[in-house]
Amino acid sequence: MGGARRVGIGMDYSPSSKTGLQWAIDNLLNSEDQIVIIDVQSSNSEATQKTLWEDTGSPLIPLDEFKVINISKLYGIHPDPEVLDILDTAHRTKGVNVVFKVYWGDPREKMCEAVEDLKLHCLVVGSRGLGSLTRVLLGSVSNYVVTNATCPVTVVKGAAVSKP
């Protein structure tokens, strides 16, 4: 495949989104590809940058900047050290470029918006494995994105949760 690709990864820092991230790194990414971590925050967020970027989403935030600046205050994000470590390792070992993009609003709509705005080649999202009733009542972000995104979407299921 010729040229670098821009691969979006939906991230809510849940175990399933972390599984999706690791799957993409292990199975999809090549050197020089760009990972765009797409983080959709609640419309009720008190982030200081929300007012400035609410309509278009934040500017792309490079990994090094993301680790240094006061992200939680500016963008309402509480970065997970495990995710940052996974991304840092991918950057160092595979040579991929890592950036973050923050949106505010409905995750289903904003993920599809991100595909268009960022000209993504593909999108990877995790699946929380909602039961059929919960999925019908709440809707499934992954199902909506698969149906409405204009690029290929890979849904990565997390590990099965055993019930007592």
Residue-level pLDDT at 152: 94
pLDDT tens-digit readout, 38-85? 999 887 777 777 777 878 899 999 998 888 767 767 887 877 899 999
Q: Is 141 helix (H, G, I), strand (E, B) or coil?
A: helix
What is the value of pTM for the model shown? Answer: 0.86
Residue-level pLDDT at 130: 52
Q: Which residues, given as ranges, of the chain have pLDDT below 70?
A: 1-2, 69, 72, 128-139, 158-164
Residue-level pLDDT at 78: 79
Cβ-contact 45, 129 below 8 angstroms: no
Cβ-contact 129, 16 below 8 angstroms: yes
**Distant-in-sequence, close-in-space partners of 84: CB < 8 Å, separation ≥ 6:** 63, 66, 67
Q: Which domains does the chain have, with CATH numbers?
A: 6-157 (3.40.50.620)
